[in-house]
Amino acid sequence: MIGVDDFAPRRRHRRATIATAPGPADASRSRPAERGPPWSPGRANILVPRPPGEGNDVELTGWITTARAVDLPHLRSFTNGRETDRPAVRAGLILPHHNGRTEGVSTRTKRIMRQIHGRARLGLLRHRVLRL
């Protein structure tokens, strides 16, 4: 069963929820589904990052507190990493500056290098990257 919260990639919605059950789905139920804890078995929340804003770091702190209460090893490791680099994570969540274009150019250059492996000379790479 997939429950989507008005999710459409072109509309840039922020969240979708995927819930699975061990047995076959029963559409004839008259009562609404009970909502369990965020990390209950068979349920996954997929969150897409929000645009930068002041409230995001507060929400991250709340999420880290909830994740630590669940006490799953992989989440504990992830939250410890976020706490270790807290100033950089906070800056990424609240500041409007980003290096997306730089990362895109870097990724494109690496893709071209993989495509022309073995034939990569500076002239050919310059031709492919700069499109001269």
Asked if pLDDT for residue 71 goes beyond 60, the answer is: yes
- Rounded Cα gap, residues 17 and 5, in angstroms: 7
Give the model's pLDDT for residue 42: 45
Q: What ranges do the domains of the chain cover?
A: 1-21+37-48, 100-130
Instruction: Give Cα 9 to chain centroid, integer Å.
Output: 14
3-class DSSP state for residue 15?
strand
State mean pLDDT over 6-30. Answer: 51
Give the residue, 1 or 37, on which the prediction is more confident: 37
Asked if pLDDT for residue 122 goes beyond 70, the answer is: yes
pTM reported for the whole predicted model: 0.42
